[in-house]
Chain A
């Protein structure tokens, strides 16, 4: 190969680099070229949408987008975009998503609701209540006035067995487990909720319970009427004293008698019980969190939910049978792409209620 030809090839590649490199940089930073009368470079943003289950058709402003979820819609000029997700056998999902220049609007854990809920009857006996045993694969089932009044239920294996021990021991075990979370937060009998280390009072009274999500470092608290997210904020110095390193964002205030709450869908939802209703509160939103009812349970009984199984266990309203409802279809949860594995949980801009 002659020297001249080699040089031509070399300079061709050099030219490709110097033409291509700026284009790639601009594209990576979210700039796009606007055609028409106002032609020029504009700084665009993007929207990332991922649903459970995946494969939902995406409509942006009524126009169908080429990719199904998970999808990245890029080159969007700043503004608000009505987005609708449609998947067969699931309720349509719709929201207005704001797009800011060079920013990504992430809705990475959208939970689509099936049109026909997937209920299963697990045990046909008549039960009185469910007692939680945190950090184990069991919960207890209480019957009324019978010899085998308590049963252990393995929610992973979906099997029950009689519990011959003293139920009081179970209660003490339950309390002992709670102390793990108490190193971070403290909750006294009057409902005063404070931080475990600094002793800072976060809520003065009425808190009935809290749940700390170790994986996502998020905490939910509940009172009789409300559900709140506990957030760490940068402490401010006022008169030389550090003030308020924690704040509570109340995301639900219409409760009647909230008794339980669970983190669901990897911190994107809160599943809670209000009187005999079990509701789901969706936090993955740029608007006000949406709440919808999942089921009704037996009067004054508790429920159990684990994100590991994606099922909520409850007692049937009429028969008292142990039932389960698949809330998160685990086999349909999309394996998150590698690049997003390390994604810090996007703090969806949840509006104060």
Chain B
């Protein structure tokens, strides 16, 4: 589904990604782990099309098509979803209005009919149970006055409603307590299918106890320096990232 080849990206003239190679197939869950500053979030945002980043080399194909040539909204309409590390507050726009607009844009892109507010409400009620959210939040402004945990659950709710083929979760576990983490992980797991794929960007191993990855990649200084199975995450937990700090050594499956 997704093929990243030799991806280089910079922000404000500073190079963050220094040659990423990664392939993700349908039905797979990949974890991307690394120390702070390694470029994990940058990778997530570049895949989503954040305008602040400049791709200076390499390619990314999605279903064989050039992803980097697509505007952020086109990527979303093609089924890519980024769960933000710091979800944005948008006072003045209700969660209901925002989600319905997004949902209908994606339906339009697929040539399907849009849903009216009542039909959409039915859909919403079903999805909200997935992340244990109170339907009253639909009338509140997007993420406004939400706790960190509520914001992250709202990201997963959006994911549940929009049904992406490739979900990229950017440090979704950061700042979450055990209960919130459990709810988020259960939500993600329920959405897993053989037709979609997930990239989990995370610093800590604990999320991977709940969402078990097929492959784990270690990102250090802008490059993937080791890839392996889920045992790699446990090894990192025990020994830390320092062994990879130099960024040397090609990854061999553990």
A and B physically associate? no
